[in-house]
Structure 1
Amino acid sequence: MKLRSAALLLLSALSTSLSAAPIDKQDIQFIGPLGQASTIKPYNTAHQQTIIANLIPSLSGAEKTVSMLGVDAKWQPLSQLNALTMGGLQAMKMEFSVNRFVQGELVLDGIEKAHIFLNGERHSDKMTSTLNLPTGDHQIIIVAEQVADWKKVAVAFNGKTDHDRLLFTGKSTRTLSAKQLFDAPVISAVSYSPDAEHYVVTQKHYQPNRGNQALTSTTLYNEDDKVIFTLDGVNAASLAWREDGEQLVYSQHGQLKTLDLANLRSRVIAEDLAGASDFAYFNDTSLIFSWSKSPAEDTSLVKHYQGLEDRWSYARTNTQVYLLDIKTGLIQALTEGKQSHTLEDHDAKNNRILTSRTVQDYAAPPHMLTELVEFNLTQGSHTVIGQYRTFNEAKYGAKGVYVVAGPEFNNGLGRAVDKDQLSNNYDGQLYWLDSQGANAKALSKQFNPAIGSIDVLSNGDVIAKVKEEDRQPLYLYDVSKDRYTRLDADLDVVEHFSIADNRKPNLLVAGTQASAPQQLKQVNISKNRARTVWDSAPLAYANSEIAKLEEFNFTNSQGTEIKGRVYLPHNLDKSKQYPALIYYYGGTSPVSRAFTGRYPFNLWAANGYVVYVLQPTGATGFGQDFSAQHVNAWGEQTADDIIAGTKAFLTEYPFVDKERLGNLGASYGGFMTMLLTTKTDLFSASISHAGISNITSYWGQGWWGYLYSGEASKHSFPWNNPKLYSQHSPVFHADKVTTPLLLLHGDADVNVPVGESHTMYTALKLLGKDVELIEIKGADHQIFARDRRFQWWDTMLAYFDKHLKDQPQWWQHLYGR
């Protein structure tokens, strides 16, 4: 932090916080000339815009000295500049904060030609330009091409009103920003060689000049973390290793290639495999993979539905399993038929494969049937091991087959609830079957975490990724001891992992903590010890202000502990009153502790909100009794938990203003938001993203509505339980709504159709309620594209600023009223 006297700080704050005030030259940093002296004026070149834009990353950093073309230039306060003029390019930099949404005009004087960049993005080339600044820290860089007299250069900010102020505090830390959270480099895929001597990482990041296009790179490292090869256009998750770790196969630019690690030579082994995926070495000489064929485009005037699945765009795509001979390129089909086959696992030693296929059968929830099928490649025969209503995946191991499925698998083998209680089959359990499926054993009935996916080690033990309350760790299941051991990667949420299992098993794990960004770890399984390979914090979050995190739990009216956590704004002053946001999901999954994501709790805290995230009744990861409460409830106990939790939170955190509470959720959480507006006036503003307003229409129209309802409304239908479908649907109680409500929805949402928000919007408009509807164009159920994500995040914060901070300006800027 710059050292100044208290008087100078006060003078600077006063001089720069009033409307139409010049910015103190002490608060403006100058650098120049940039590069070697030249009589050629940059604006006379054909590439002026590109030349200047390429300077900005170097000028944006914290370095005091910048070297360009062998010439060093140092940043210094503009007030200390003695030169009147100089050749080439010069630049000014201002770093400041705003404690609310600020609007005004930036005015330059004494510069004949300049380029203004705001937070690293080109903003304007005009001497007067408009600034619209959300809460947080900002940086302006002005690149000057022609200045006759630097003593006459002045910069002013004319605020739109008295509260539109720029605060030059000179602080050494920076407020966490939306751009950081979205653009920062992250690892999107990892792959470990079987012998642990190499690994491949795919990393991606965004930058403003590339818009929605991520910049990705895939790199091959040795065990000493040294780069030895790059694989352009390849995703680490899609490549496969030979068992000895000396060769890998990957698809690149339409060609299937092998790479020999001994000499780093690649060879094309096949081409034109459109629709092929999931390549793996069946043995040292052949690959096994899935190959999909989509039907020709339907140009007819009508669409004849052949079943409920036809609502899916991919329903008539056929997928089968194939072998490819690496030496000759010969391809041989292993499965066939009208039913698609999903490859679950393969066993080259016994020349067999394990597949699953879906049978159209609506007789019982979830209204589909999965067959587990083994193909004996030597005999050319296949055997149906079993048919199951709940099924996630299967793997060979321990002289049989491991299966992940819900508690009702194999006639309720995994149930751990009372006999009169319906299990929640989203609560994943682990099972073992013999090779004929005749004998089965439940392996996780007393293990509360919900099992999501598994990998089987060569000794028959299992690595399971689970949901454990609001964390997503890895566990080792020791089959000989029938025991689960948590693997210590020191991460709250494991996002990607890969196993090396040729010698002593090791893991490569990428993930985050609730208050720390992504890291890549190597985990020694036998020692249960991790080392950090890569950390995004110093790369993208250096000196960032991260919210303080506290755990906050309460006991509900049923005597059940409801877990939660609270994010506190940086430098929180407990003598003041703060607005708060309450977030929940309420469906079958707990709200993850990921550092960032679609709902960035740390960003909300950075904008001055205390954030309370709770895990109401019904979520998986807390045991089967807890998750079973989701079935046939549709918000009944969940709403009570959210209301009771919010009241307990207000008691525990007296610096939260009970008159300035916002609540929000998405999907099932969006349904919960709508439902809560009909049940309580506890909140001052509510946001529902992609929420369900009418359970019946969602059940009948959403792509997966009838499948999800097979659990959420198990055995209940509009004709046999109309009360559930109507009285639990928010739109049937729209007249009870008193809370201002924002409905957000992607207009291309196939999971929860946008009509769900339109239905509630129509009702509330006709009732004269305070309601807004915003559609995100081209967005499905989740908002992925960079430009839409920023607009979406801004929309939510602007809406809450309007209602909870009495600051409508941001919302007015975005939406005009």
Structure 2
Amino acid sequence: MKPITSKSLFDLKNVSQPLSFMGRLFYLETRIDEEKNTYLTSAWSLNPKTLDRIEWVSEELNPSQLKISPNKKWLSFLSTPKEKKPQISIMPLKGGGAVTLTQEKEGISTYKWTDNGSAIYYQTSEKKEKQKEYAVKNKSDSKKPAPKTITKLQYKMDGQGIIETNKTHQVKKLDVSSKHLSLILEKERPFSLQYVSKDESFLLYVDKLDPLNEWVYGASVYEYDVALKESHLVTKDVPDGSFSFEAVNDSENFFLFTGNDFSHAFVTLDKVYGWDRQERTFKELSKADKHVGDALVGDFQQKTRGFPVEWLTDDTFVYPVTEEGKIQLYKGDKTGSNTKVFDEHIHLTDGDLIQDTTFAVTYSDLNTPSVLASLDIETKEIKVLYDPNETFSNNHVFAEIERFWYKGADDWDIEGWYVKPAEKKKDHPAILYIHGGPQVSYGETFFHEMQQLASAGYGIIMLNPRGGNGYGQEFVASILGDYGNKDYQDLMLGVDHALIEHPEIDKERVFVAGGSYGGFMTNWIVGHTDRFKAAITQRSISNWISFYGTSDVGAFFVKFQLEKELDQMHDLWKMSPLAYAQNIKTPLLVIHGEEDLRCPKEQGEQMYTAMKKQGVDTQIILYPKSSHGLSREGLPHLRLDRLEEIKAWFKKYE
């Protein structure tokens, strides 16, 4: 049996976006190509009875957003060939090649079929006329860098860069047969098309709560009357809430949304709400004190959408909940009645209703990277139909992972997982690895990085301290304005528990690492204790004062998460790890993406400079063309390098 290594990333595949159609299951399959240094996706169908598979769309077209046209003639998808913008393509379900329908210069972000399948509404953008004229006049100077004039509060976004303001954002309608194109809706700012009514009389789209006031946080759903060209906010009864459309029943009189009322700011639990369009009522429907949606964190899944909110009948629906490190399913109805219908130790990553109570799903668990399966929520039976990694799993050693609970600060119950070294050894080193967020959680999902660390001989302590999701509103909100206090205590008590329960861990060789919030906490930990042999801080926060003005979410995050304003600099400094740099003796490796706009590069640089000043052994590794999501979706060769650098740093101090 072989060990799982960093290069195992190139041997593994994940499946996503299952779609049921007349006895066949369509789905996407994604892999990472080492030579091409990119992610490649193809589209397949599977016969659930014979398990025969057919490839429909090759990796060359890199498909996403699979759909079946309502008239059952077409398989549609966004095609994104190498170095090209996404365009809408269709394939006849009776057989034949793909045809690209659009040639939008700025590409397509999303699309919706009309109810009769004759046309497609899609969203794109277009450069303004003045910018087009400027580009033509200055074609010879196109390679020269141009200045950027910024007037907006939110002017950049991680993974995207500076937000272009020289565009109009549009919804267009394309007749599939005649290719006639018409402009339906246009705005000067980004918005998101979510629904086209059956008679095409209205659209639903998401826009800012107050487009005229950039200091108002949040976005919600608007109804647009196509004939009158008028919009109104659907969720006006919850004025501060942010919501998104999910599904409508067959009668098209009751709509389901997910979102929250912002009562606990960023960490308010999302819930299912119902909108009766005729009565104009909007009310909460899902189980109390549960977070609707997928808050589990991992590093392997690609192009997954999460298990959907989906109607079962005209009155009942199913929805996902993150609970204690797994994805549960609840059945709800229009009256607000709720029943738990599925609760297993797995991570449901996607789904689509096949019939009645049976779904096509993709899922992962601690030692299962990704599979396609059927799930009957009535009988609870889950049947694997296709495992793209079956051969890999049969020939590699997966770590044994133990789930546990312990008492944190204030005697709160805290959940954790201990990933044991793949090869059992006495006196082995261990790593406390802290997740980001903090309003996400570790859970029952495959984590490649942890597996390859276990193969290298490390035990990994994975904890969900207060501030994480899946344990109720009080738990996730308890961190507001209190970073580095009881969450820190939860983590230290968790390490104590792991060392007691696993005496085979060498107490002198315990390390700490984390990214984002986990990077903040790593910085905080080494400033408050010397118990760890070495540390690695990634995409971290070190100084909340500079973070306020440099992060793409800085001003809002500081206000709502830390419950502070910029004029409270003394308080912000006390909450900043950099304020305790003089206490640090632990060797610290700093890892940061050069294009990280969520936790900007300067945060890591400040920590590195402080370590130099302290005379602490340190390095900083900056990754080019890398945003905040480097460890999950970055350039493959850089992901690989990062994994090797982490092992090398810890090996140095064993």
How would you bin the TM-score normalised by the shorter chain?
0.7 to 0.9
Confirm or deny that 1:177 pairs with 2:5: yes
Aligned counterpart, 2:309: 455
SS in 1 for 2:109: strand
Question: CA 1:484–1:278 in 2, change beyond 3 Å: closer, same or farther?
Answer: farther
Question: CA 1:449–1:584 in 2, change beyond 3 Å: closer, same or farther?
Answer: same
Aligned counterpart, 2:542: 693
SS in 2 for 1:563: strand
Cα contact 1:211–1:786 (8 A) shared by 2: no
The correspondence for 2:393, drawn from 541, 545, 549, is: 541
Q: CA deviation at 1:251?
A: 4.5
Confirm or deny that 1:288 pairs with 2:121: yes
Post-superposition CA distance 1:515-573 (Å, at most 9, x none): 22221112234444221111134222223221111112111231210100111123424
Confirm or deny that 1:470 pairs with 2:325: yes
The correspondence for 1:335, drawn from 162, 167, 185, is: 185
Question: CA 1:497–1:352 in 2, change beyond 3 Å: closer, same or farther?
Answer: same
Report the Cα distance in structure 2 between the residues aligned to 1:301 and 1:214, rounded to whole angstroms. 31
Pairing 1:269-348 to 2, within 5 Å after superposition = 270-274=101-105, 275-284=107-116, 285-294=118-127, 296=131, 302-312=147-157, 313-316=162-165, 317-348=167-198
Confirm or deny that 1:227 pairs with 2:53: yes
Confirm or deny that 1:750 pairs with 2:601: no
Aligned counterpart, 1:135: none
Report the Cα distance in structure 2 between the residues aligned to 1:477 and 1:710, rounded to whole angstroms. 35
Cα contact 1:450–1:468 (8 A) shared by 2: no
Confirm or deny that 1:250 pairs with 2:77: yes
Aligned counterpart, 2:347: 493
Report the Cα distance in structure 2 between the residues aligned to 1:584 and 1:251, rounded to whole angstroms. 36
The correspondence for 2:246, drawn from 378, 384, 395, is: 395
Post-superposition CA distance 1:427-470 (Å, at most 9, x none): 32222233379533222362423435643325253443432232
Q: CA deviation at 1:678?
A: 0.9
Question: CA 1:700–1:520 in 2, change beyond 3 Å: closer, same or farther?
Answer: same
Report the Cα distance in structure 1 between the residues aligned to 2:89 and 2:179, rounded to whole angstroms. 11
Cα contact 1:249–1:257 (8 A) shared by 2: yes
Report the Cα distance in structure 2 between the residues aligned to 1:257 and 1:792, rounded to whole angstroms. 36
The correspondence for 2:626, drawn from 753, 758, 779, is: 779
Report the Cα distance in structure 2 between the residues aligned to 1:315 and 1:436, rounded to whole angstroms. 39
Q: CA deviation at 1:214?
A: 3.7
Cα contact 1:425–1:711 (8 A) shared by 2: no
Post-superposition CA distance 1:204-259 (Å, at most 9, x none): 33454x24134443223345443345212445532321235443223446874433
SS in 2 for 1:749: coil
Question: CA 1:687–1:260 in 2, change beyond 3 Å: closer, same or farther?
Answer: same
Cα contact 2:290–2:322 (8 A) shared by 1: no
Cα contact 2:221–2:244 (8 A) shared by 1: no
Q: CA deviation at 1:630?
A: 2.3
Report the Cα distance in structure 1 between the residues aligned to 2:621 and 2:22, rounded to whole angstroms. 49
Q: CA deviation at 1:621?
A: 1.4
Q: CA deviation at 1:746?
A: 1.3
Cα contact 2:193–2:203 (8 A) shared by 1: yes
SS in 2 for 1:558: helix
Aligned counterpart, 2:201: 351
Aligned counterpart, 1:669: 518
The correspondence for 1:197, drawn from 14, 23, 33, is: 23
Confirm or deny that 1:507 pairs with 2:359: yes
Aligned counterpart, 2:372: 520
SS in 1 for 2:373: strand
Question: CA 1:334–1:476 in 2, change beyond 3 Å: closer, same or farther?
Answer: farther
Question: CA 1:761–1:677 in 2, change beyond 3 Å: closer, same or farther?
Answer: same
Q: CA deviation at 1:424?
A: 4.5
Q: Partner amino acid for 2:112? A: A
Report the Cα distance in structure 2 between the residues aligned to 1:670 and 1:685, rounded to whole angstroms. 14
SS in 2 for 1:630: coil
Aligned length: 605
Question: CA 1:436–1:277 in 2, change beyond 3 Å: closer, same or farther?
Answer: same
Q: Partner amino acid for 1:308? A: L
Q: Partner amino acid for 1:259? A: M
Report the Cα distance in structure 1 between the residues aligned to 2:279 and 2:610, rounded to whole angstroms. 53
Report the Cα distance in structure 2 between the residues aligned to 1:384 and 1:604, rounded to whole angstroms. 49
Aligned counterpart, 2:415: 563
Q: Partner amino acid for 1:630? A: I
Report the Cα distance in structure 1 between the residues aligned to 2:6 and 2:127, rounded to whole angstroms. 39
Aligned counterpart, 1:434: 276
Cα contact 2:168–2:186 (8 A) shared by 1: no
Q: Partner amino acid for 2:2? A: R
Report the Cα distance in structure 2 between the residues aligned to 1:213 and 1:363, rounded to whole angstroms. 37
Cα contact 1:449–1:469 (8 A) shared by 2: no
Aligned counterpart, 1:572: 424
Question: CA 1:272–1:491 in 2, change beyond 3 Å: closer, same or farther?
Answer: farther
Q: CA deviation at 1:795?
A: 0.7
Report the Cα distance in structure 2 between the residues aligned to 1:286 and 1:440, rounded to whole angstroms. 31
Report the Cα distance in structure 1 between the residues aligned to 2:428 and 2:612, rounded to whole angstroms. 31
Confirm or deny that 1:594 pairs with 2:445: yes
Confirm or deny that 1:718 pairs with 2:570: no
SS in 2 for 1:764: helix
Report the Cα distance in structure 2 between the residues aligned to 1:228 and 1:543, rounded to whole angstroms. 26
Percent identical: 20
Aligned counterpart, 2:231: 382
Cα contact 1:563–1:614 (8 A) shared by 2: yes
Report the Cα distance in structure 2 between the residues aligned to 1:767 and 1:191, rounded to whole angstroms. 53
RMSD of the alignment, in Å? 2.8
Question: CA 1:428–1:724 in 2, change beyond 3 Å: closer, same or farther?
Answer: farther
Question: CA 1:777–1:381 in 2, change beyond 3 Å: closer, same or farther?
Answer: closer
Post-superposition CA distance 1:173-222 (Å, at most 9, x none): 22222222x112423532413x45223222233454x2413444322334
Q: Partner amino acid for 2:422? A: H
Q: CA deviation at 1:758?
A: 0.8
Q: CA deviation at 1:294?
A: 4.7
Report the Cα distance in structure 2 between the residues aligned to 1:709 and 1:604, rounded to whole angstroms. 34
Cα contact 1:747–1:778 (8 A) shared by 2: yes
Aligned counterpart, 2:298: none
Report the Cα distance in structure 2 between the residues aligned to 1:684 and 1:204, rounded to whole angstroms. 38
Cα contact 2:119–2:173 (8 A) shared by 1: yes
Indicate the larger mover: 661-670 or 640-649: 640-649
Q: CA deviation at 1:301?
A: 5.6
Over alpha carbons, which structure has the higher Rg? Answer: 1
Question: Highest relative contact order (Cα 8 Å, sep 6+), 1 or 2?
Answer: 2
Q: CA deviation at 1:652?
A: 1.7
Post-superposition CA distance 1:338-373 (Å, at most 9, x none): 233311223215732211112446676xx4242521
Q: TM-score, normalised by structure 1?
A: 0.69
In the alignment, structure 1 segments of 5+ residues that lack a partner are 1-172, 413-421, 806-817
Q: Partner amino acid for 2:467? A: G
Report the Cα distance in structure 2 between the residues aligned to 1:177 and 1:543, rounded to whole angstroms. 13
Cα contact 2:286–2:338 (8 A) shared by 1: no
Pairing 1:12-161 to 2, within 5 Å after superposition = none
SS in 2 for 1:675: helix
Aligned counterpart, 2:615: 768
Q: TM-score, normalised by structure 2?
A: 0.85
Q: CA deviation at 1:685?
A: 0.8
Aligned counterpart, 1:91: none
SS in 2 for 1:265: coil
Q: CA deviation at 1:481?
A: 6.5
SS in 2 for 1:335: strand
Cα contact 1:519–1:534 (8 A) shared by 2: yes
